[in-house]
Amino acid sequence: MAKRTWVLLDVEDDQYVDSMQLTSDDADGVPEGLSIVKRRLQGGLRDGVDVIEVDNGAFRFVVIPTRGMGIWRASLGPVRLGWRSPVQGPVHPAMVNLQSPNGLGWLNGFDEFVARCGLENNGSPVFDENGVLQYPLHGRIQNTPANRVEVSIDDGTGEITISGTVDEGRLYGDKLRLTVTYMTKPGEPGVRFVDTVTNLSTRPVGTQLLYHINVGLPLVDPGSKFVAPVSKLAPRSANEWESVETWDTYGPETPDAEGVCFFADLLSDKDGQTRALLHNAAGTQGVSVLYNTRQYPCFTLWKNVQPAADGYVTGIEPATNYPNERPFEEQRGRVVVLQPGESRARQLAIEAHPDAKSVAAAKEHVAKLRAGREPEILADPVSEWSM
């Protein structure tokens, strides 16, 4: 069967589509119930941000080409994926100063359900001996607009594909390309994606990639549970040891609560596939992140239980490394080096759970991955994992 493709943006060929709507009423070959809408937002910090709204008849999600091809929000029936950030986004990258002297400018645009961190650096800010910022928090890719975007629909299967290319490079620096491909079929309760990182330089380049997958109220509520086949887990720092006993449970909204992070190693099946599940207190709604531990060997769980107005949220974060300062990760061999022209492709999927039956099935899958093995939960940081 044929695949129909529409180019929405191509900087090299000077192509740009301001708005477009694809439904069965608008274009031949679009199955009933599917829709793709491209539009540009106006006003406030979002002024000039392009979004692509995808509906496969059951699952809906919003891609942001202007912000590194991240996903702003998603939903499956009553299940709402995302969070209520104190930042009213999606924020145009022009309004985010990544070179802020404290290295934390990234937070001024932080609003997405799925935000990528990388490609040079995905962890803490790094400063040189003179206090000059070398690498900002979580890198630059999420605040870099795509330079090519296209959408496709398969006439036979109805599968929707959204593809985008984002370049991160500069003169006398690294030159990397991220190619993002989202895929979803009619009625599928989620979205799959393939991310390919390519070294465009003539010299070897070290790369890092982490997914900040953020979920807040109402899906995450007091008593919500994180369920994953943890082999070993430890707090990021000694200051977070008091939270270890409740690492998998979410507490009430707490003013001035400090965010806590846990670093973990997850078990997988014989092919490296694993699942991390987050479900509400009642066990009636949830979301799973499915990925391959050979591609993303490191996992971080971030919990922030400040009141809703301050951003009650948790982060499910598969990654190529732990989000420490890059030199620390380099010393431990957790920076992926790409040779000139080399590409590395990785897969990940998000699955929403609209009812108790779906949540229970995901929990059963995690139990099979665990195969009766008890997790090693440590009260102190692991020196190999944490600075």
Q: How far does Cα 362 stand from its chain's mean position? A: 20
Cα 267 from Cα 194, distance rounded (Å): 22
Beta-carbon contacts of residue 362 (< 8 Å; ≥ 6 apart)? 227, 275, 277, 279, 286, 288, 351, 353
Give how far Cα 149 sits from Cα of 54, 143, 176, 218, Å.
14, 16, 17, 32
Where are the domains positioned within the chain?
A: 3-377
Residue 1 is predicted with a pLDDT of 57
H helix or E strand, kind and range, residue 183:
strand 175-184
pTM of the model: 0.96
CB 302 within 8 A of CB 335: no
What is the predicted pLDDT for the residue at 29? 66
Given 2.30.30.60, 3.40.1390.10, 3.30.410.10, 2.70.98.10, which CATH number is that of 3-377? 2.70.98.10
Average pLDDT for runs of 10 along the chain of length 387: 89 96 78 92 97 97 98 96 95 97 96 97 96 96 98 91 96 95 97 98 97 96 97 92 87 92 98 98 98 98 94 97 98 98 98 98 98 95 95
Contact 126, 135 (CB under 8 A): yes
- Cα 1 to Cα 156, 157, 158, 360: the distances in Å are 5, 8, 10, 37
d(CA 212, CA 234): 19
Burial of residue 171 (number of CB atoms within 10 Å: 0-12, 13-18, 19+):
exposed
